[in-house]
């Protein structure tokens, strides 16, 4: 297999391969909880040796990626059931394949990421009239013009928000309430302990350096409601709360411990004009 250096990936960019691998592995199980044939296809064709990830990533970590995808799929499907022609913005899309799982034939979908990630994405995923790629930082306010006039907007940030400093997260939330008030957001986040453990058990074991370290952790997500007027947390839960119901009690130990200390969690947020 071709060496990963052929992709010219930095440590931060390599992190986008982790959930892709996880979804592909889950799909190939006899009884998968999530089916993602597009992830399987990309994994087969991408010139990367996934053996290091396979050897070092625990089942608990892989389960977190699947739990997150299941939660986001459910939230998006519920949203587009209410608003069939909604606009979904996939922030920090990497090699995410959510669109292929939830598309109703009517939604408008925006995949937003930095230029190097979009360049890689184009090799395996195609744009279409309802699926547009934007090569930009989420902090570059110009991209909001691309969805000017759109109604019923949901932003999905999968594996993104904890790579920013808290000051940057505050800027992002303020930009959203300024440019797209009324937007819904779904994202995963870490507790302060979760940031520490993820850097040790995921980033280092995945062969990445400190440039890929998680930065922002928050123990009580409701604290963000104090940042600005108009921020409302509509739902939050430990990442395995719904996922672990698929397993017998004796297999839930790792899930229960992680959830008890809130290592990783999921959130839905509504942002209105302040």
Q: What is the pLDDT of residues 170-183, one digit of tens each?
A: 999 999 999 999 99
Provide, rounded to the nearest whole percent, the portion of the chain with pLDDT above 90. 77
Residue 132: beta bridge partners? 110
Tell me which of 11-15, 26-30, 47-51, 241-245 is least confident.
Answer: 11-15
Residue 264: beta bridge partners? 190
Q: Report pLDDT for 3.
A: 44
Q: Report pLDDT for 206.
A: 52
Q: Work out the angle at residue 159's Cα, subtended by the Cα atoms of residues 53 and 13, and round it to the nearest 5 degrees.
A: 55
The two three-digit tokens of residue 166, written as one number: 């808290």
Residue 242's Cβ-count burial label (10 Å; 0-12, 13-18, 19+) is: middle
Q: Please determine, looking at this structure, whether the domain spanning 4-271 carries the CATH number 3.50.50.60.
A: no
pLDDT tens column, 45-61: 998 888 888 888 888 98
Find the helix or strand (DSSP H, E) in which 189 lies: strand 183-190
Domain boundaries, the chain: 4-271
Q: What is the mean pLDDT of the chain?
A: 91
pLDDT tens column, 59-112: 898 999 999 999 999 999 999 999 999 999 999 999 999 999 999 999 999 999
Distance of CA 103 to the CA centre of its chain: 17
Long-range Cβ pairs for the range 82-89 (8 Å, 24+): 82/152, 83/151, 83/152, 85/152, 86/152, 86/153, 86/154, 87/147, 87/150, 87/151, 87/152, 87/153, 87/154, 88/153, 88/154, 88/155, 88/156, 89/147, 89/153, 89/154, 89/155, 89/156
Would strands 264-271 and 183-190 be described as parallel, antiparallel, or unpaired? antiparallel
pLDDT above 90: residue 202: no
pLDDT above 70: residue 6: no
Tell me which of 4-13, 22-31, 48-57 is least confident.
Answer: 4-13
Indicate the pTM of the whole model.
0.92
Q: Report pLDDT for 103.
A: 98
Question: Hey, how many other C-beta atoms are within 10 angstroms of the C-beta on 47?
Answer: 12
- Residue 246: pLDDT band (50, 70, 90) is very high
């Amino acid at each position: 297999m071709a060496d990963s250096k052929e992709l010219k990936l930095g440590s931060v960019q390599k992190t986008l391969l982790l959930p892709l691998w996880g979804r592909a592995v889950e799909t190939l199980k006899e009884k998968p909880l999530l089916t993602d044939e597009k992830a399987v296809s990309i994994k087969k064709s991408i010139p990367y040796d996934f053996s290091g990830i396979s050897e070092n990533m625990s089942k608990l970590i892989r389960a977190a990626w699947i739990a997150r995808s299941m939660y986001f799929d459910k939230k998006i499907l519920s949203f587009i059931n209410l608003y069939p022609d909604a606009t979904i913005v996939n922030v920090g899309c990497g090699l995410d394949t959510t669109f292929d799982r939830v598309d109703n034939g009517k939604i408008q979908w925006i995949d937003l990421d930095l230029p190097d990630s979009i360049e890689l994405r184009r090799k395996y995923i195609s744009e279409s009239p309802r699926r547009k790629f934007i090569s930009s930082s989420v902090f570059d306010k110009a991209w909001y013009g691309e969805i000017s006039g759109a109604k019923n907007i949901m932003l999905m940030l999968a594996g993104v928000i904890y790579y920013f400093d808290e000051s940057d997260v505050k800027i992002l939330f303020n930009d959203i309430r300024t440019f797209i008030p009324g937007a819904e957001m779904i994202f995963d986040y870490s507790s302060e302990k979760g940031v520490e453990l993820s850097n040790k058990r995921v980033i280092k074991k995945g062969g990445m350096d400190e440039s890929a370290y998680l930065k922002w952790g928050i123990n009580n997500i409701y604290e963000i409601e104090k940042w600005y007027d108009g921020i409302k947390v509509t739902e939050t839960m430990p990442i395995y709360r719904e996922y672990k119901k698929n397993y017998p009690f004796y297999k839930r130990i790792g899930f229960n411990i992680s959830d008890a200390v809130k290592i990783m969690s999921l959130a839905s947020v509504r942002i209105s004009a302040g």
